[in-house]
Structure 1
């Protein structure tokens, strides 16, 4: 079997090539992960949009989840489902990690809103962020999540059952900039995560989440399943953030690895909750969605952790599927033609520009030919490109390969 026999051409078939691959899987996935090999390339985000529109129109998908702040994502969801706010405001307030500046992401949000305008609530598309309120050097204050959870419970449950008053919560949280101090990322002593107030907040958050769970029948009947779902999101986020801040104080060697694990654990919890809304396209970095262990070298520090995708796959089984992505050249970012002995180099020999590769069949073809691709190592000028590990090709359901990525529009 040749490499070309494992490839479906996106240039000629369009996103229907993805459908062909999905229909070869043993079960229809509830969550379809689409990995991103490099942030910031509009051509890749436009391809993502094409695939999502096709899945909506031909495969019954109704939700889109992005590697962006889960709480900010509520702003986007309110806009696409109910028209709340303006598109400009949503793009400014509804995204983290720079996604709001993307023209392709703006077009996705506009299209989702237009699609929903003439449809009933049950038919409308949903938007979700699945990352925690975390950046590379900053973790958010727990204020938004904790106060929203407390406010929901206070409105519908006897005050005597609550762990504290809103005033006590506000006092314990204090100034938000104590929590978001960027110096804490590199200096554990700058973190407030193990202060007396933070430790008390962890206990309060745990009690509030337990109360939310215990009162589920009453709360869903008194409000709605959607309101309860959002309260659960606030609870997961509050406990996750407080746990993250607690371990930011840790100065031991596993500190960064532990934080990476906790971030992806928060992502996994959000993805499992999102899966309740039906078939969903999940778009995020390859490292966050792959099945094999994720690795990263941060300076001289090697990191290894289980990704959100690996966790979800272990829990959902064949209800999770993953399409990794790989790139040939990104010449405007000094990423040239890959070496022919690498996985990307082998795929680069295909005649067209965009493909969906059947990854297990590709792995079998390489094994049958006795070929073991070498890892790609020419990313020094473009550290943002995430290569695929050739030893784990067959653990992906597919690979979306773009041979030559064009520059972003001026």
Structure 2
């Protein structure tokens, strides 16, 4: 018997999205089930433009290096640098470099900000740490930037070390970024004597920063303070990540995945203090439910950034998952009719927004079946997550760029 789900389906626009939510959230998270699809990035841009023009949103945060993102933010807010340099050096991960949709986003943000007062300008942020599944950056950039900030504002005798000491202990950056360390803990320097000392010094620098907050805010600006706080949490997060890269226990990969999402959550929580923000990353990073990933025979499970931020912000966090019908250029053809994607694929709409909790209630007696993916780069929507997802954005067919 056919199941009527039409009452859960709405037009795929920001107006319909906002009607699903009890109030405007401080963080509106838009997930995607795969990376690099132009169709999804164009949809993200369209949603962000509407949120800016009609809902007062002023920040977009994407799954990209939080330190590199500062280059993009400087460009869109004040025109610092060039668009080509920003696209080459301000975004991380292969699916973000040289991407037409991201270039269009940055161009539009820069044009929108031109001539606007500082308080009304759009802001750009990366929420990921300077790391990926293949390795992690040296903590040098973030740690020395925090040291420079503090050295310019507080008495030198309060600093736990000199910049020269940090430089000596950090050593060569190549040792920190050794590609083989991700698979071989013995190749990591994360638990060397020097790394342990740097980690203690980083903790002391962050503690000093926190203790001096009243003075720092009066002597500089909230913007400078926010940036220095980013340096501090990035440096300590990277040092913690490198330490676990050197671990030899079975917990190693679970801890690394959890630490990455923790860094994302800290960045999102900080951005939420600035005002309403649209976050865009993989569904697995933004969902409220526990995330999982299989690596060989091991099943890794950890709490996502979305789950962590939701625990902190409550109703000020909203999550929209994206589900897809086909990605034919990657061998993902029409979904099985009994899956969530299959039920939505049978609808006439090419794009729609679904009231996910209402759909979950409708399907309570006939739960949909999980969908299998023939391509490793695509993660189908987990039907057990419907009730904990505020809305489901469905795109019937993607188009190869």
For residue 158 of structure 2, the aligned residue among 152, 156, 161 is: 161
Q: Is the 8 A contact 2:45 2:101 kept in 1?
A: yes
Match for residue 371 of structure 2?
Answer: 376
SS of residue matched to 1:100:
coil
What is the CA distance between 1:343 and its match in structure 2?
1.1
Q: Distance in 2 between matches of 1:399 and 1:154?
A: 48
CA distance in 1, matches of 2:17, 2:366: 24
> Which consecutive residues of structure 2, in runs of 5 or more, have no partner in the other structure?
none
Runs of 5+ consecutive residues of structure 1 not aligned to the other structure: none
Paired residue for 2:388, among 388, 391, 395? 395
Offset, 1:21? 3.1
Aligned counterpart for 1:274 among listed residues 264, 268, 271 = 271
Residue in structure 2 matched with residue 3 of structure 1 by the alignment:
5
Deviation at 1:177, TM superposition (A): 0.5
Distance 1:177 1:248 in 2: 15
TM-score, normalised via structure 2 length: 0.98
CA distance in 1, matches of 2:241, 2:174: 16
Matches within 5 A, 1:23-42: 23-42=19-38
- Among candidates 323, 328, 331, match of residue 328 of structure 2: 331
* Correspondences of 1:350-389 after superposition (within 5 Å): 350-367=347-364, 370-377=365-372, 379-380=373-374, 382-389=375-382
Matched residue, 2:397: 404
What does 1:127-166 correspond to in 2, within 5 Å? Answer: 127-166=124-163
Structure 1 residue aligned with 2:302: 305
Partner of 2:233: 236
Within 5 Å, give how 1:108-257 maps onto structure 2.
108-257=105-254
So what's the TM-score if we normalise by structure 1? 0.96
Aligned-pair distance for 1:2?
2.5
**Distance in structure 2 (CA, Å) of the matches to 1:342 and 1:239:** 42
CA offset at residue 71 of structure 1? 0.2
Deviates further, 79-88 or 293-302: 293-302
Does the CA-based 8 Å contact 2:135-2:177 persist in structure 1? yes
The C-alpha deviation readout for 1:218-275, integer Å capped at 9, x for no partner, is: 1111110100100000000000000010111111111100111111001100000000
Quick check: 1:9–1:354 contact (8 Å CA) kept in 2?
A: yes
Alpha-carbon distance, 1:124 to partner: 0.2
Note the alpha carbon deviations across 1:157-208, whole angstroms, 9 max, x for none.
1000001001111111110000000100000000000101100001000000
Retained in 1: the 8 A contact 2:285–2:291? yes
Q: 1:223 & 1:169 partners in 2: Cα distance?
A: 24
3-state DSSP of counterpart to 1:387: coil
The offset of 1:298, in angstroms, is: 1.3
| CA distance in 1: counterparts of 2:386 and 2:260, whole angstroms | 25
1:44-68 Cα shifts (integer Å, max 9, x gaps) = 1001000000000011100000010
Q: Tell me if structure 1 keeps the 8 A contact 2:20–2:391.
A: no
Residue matched to 1:45? 41
C-alpha distance in 1, partners of 2:25/2:179? 39
Question: Aligned equivalents of 1:102 and 1:2: distance in 2?
Answer: 39
* Cα distance between partner residues in 2 of 1:124 and 1:62: 7
Give the Cα separation in 1 of the matches to 2:323 and 2:19: 22
What residue number does 1:288 align with?
285
